[in-house]
Structure 1
Amino acid sequence: MRFRSSIAAIGMLLASTGHPSAADLSTEAEVPVPPPERGIWAAIAYSTPDEKHGFFWGADKRQEAMDIALKHCERDGGSKCVVVSVFRNHRHWDDDDNTGFPYYHCGVLAIGKQENNRITPWSANSAPTRQEAEDLALKACGRSGSQCKVREWVCT
């Protein structure tokens, strides 16, 4: 009983001093709500050690596209799958969500030839068009000196 009366006394003291009381703590604080993710999301996942990949397009959320691309990569036998490209397309032309995340409609995974037991060169890029994404991925992959080819492309 002594404990309860002490809590009541502290509550009255706080109320008389203008400080919030325990009852005030139960009110919901305004938590900022993130803006909705707009667009149609896609992702490409890749596992470097075994050159396995997975992709997904058509998701409503970024995380959904990433999760499913990873699952597809792992299902294909990828031992160390990571998401290497995330991109999106407009669902409606006026759906910019002001996050600064670009609306790149296409993503490409380019893979080179393995040489001298080194890690196989690769690159993943996204761009507004398939051709631009292919050019970027092939150029970045080719910096290793390897002859690279498009392994997968996805456009939303």
Structure 2
Amino acid sequence: MRSKSVVAAIGVLLVSTAHLWAADLFTTEQPPAPPPDERGIWAAIAYSAPDEKYGFFWGADKRQEAMDIALKHCERDKGSNCVVVSIFRNHRHWDDDDKSGFPYNHCGALAVGKESSKRITPWGANSAPTRREAEGLALKACERTGSQCLVREWVCT
């Protein structure tokens, strides 16, 4: 009998030790690091393809703020299916790189097909360091369908 109680006691001790060790693992584990600061001046373009409505916003301190306001502008213009199609930013200061890997593209553009049909009109949106580059990339994306496109709107932060 005595050996069974010793084995049982050892088993309880092992279980208790394992439980404490596991608890220690959880208590010493560091929470995930917060995202890096989002430095710069943010802008976003939202577009609703079914009805060709769009919204822009630039001058935000945070990426989410630019996205939210661009969506609101698109919806205010009666866009039925607004989505953010481009996000970009400019430097606030030349040495403010936040090491996030998110590029500092200062300008963005939205291009839309010249003629709409019963199907969705082709469109393209892109950002680049200059207005000319952003417009060129947006046009190229739109014209991949074989349609002729025009820049509908551009913005630089």
- Report the TM-score when normalising by structure 2: 0.80
1:56-95 matched pairs, under 5 angstroms = 56-95=57-96
Number of residue pairs aligned between Structure 1 and Structure 2: 142
After superposition, the C-alpha distances for 1:9-41 in whole angstroms (9 at most, x for unaligned) are xxxx8xx8482799x8xx796432221111110
Matched, 1:55 2:56: yes
Structure 1 residue 99 displacement after superposition: 1.0
Structure 1 counterpart of 2:64, one-letter code:
Q
- Sequence identity, in percent? 78
After superposition, the C-alpha distances for 1:86-134 in whole angstroms (9 at most, x for unaligned) are 0000011111111111000000000112344221010001000000001
Ranges in structure 1 where 5+ consecutive residues have no aligned partner:
1-12
Aligned-partner Cα distance in 2 for 1:79–1:36: 33
Aligned-partner Cα distance in 1 for 2:156–2:48: 21
1:79-118 matched pairs, under 5 angstroms = 79-118=80-119
Q: The residue matched to 2:101 in structure 1 has which SS?
A: coil
The answer for the alignment partner of 1:122 in structure 2 is 123
Aligned-partner Cα distance in 2 for 1:52–1:98: 34
Structure 1 counterpart of 2:152, one-letter code:
R
Matched, 1:134 2:135: yes
The answer for the alignment partner of 1:6 in structure 2 is none
The answer for the alignment partner of 1:5 in structure 2 is none
The answer for the alignment partner of 1:37 in structure 2 is 38
Structure 1 residue 137 displacement after superposition: 0.8
Aligned-partner Cα distance in 2 for 1:111–1:146: 9
Structure 1 counterpart of 2:106, one-letter code:
H
Q: The residue matched to 1:42 in structure 2 has which SS?
A: strand
For the structure 1 residues 21 and 124, does the alpha-carbon distance in structure 2 shift closer, same or farther, using more than 3 Å as the test?
Answer: closer
Ranges in structure 2 where 5+ consecutive residues have no aligned partner:
1-12
Structure 2 counterpart of 1:61, one-letter code:
K
Aligned-partner Cα distance in 1 for 2:77–2:116: 23
The answer for the alignment partner of 2:150 in structure 1 is 149
Q: The residue matched to 1:67 in structure 2 has which SS?
A: helix
Q: The residue matched to 1:97 in structure 2 has which SS?
A: coil
Q: Which has the higher helix share?
A: 2
- Report the TM-score when normalising by structure 1: 0.81
The answer for the alignment partner of 2:3 in structure 1 is none
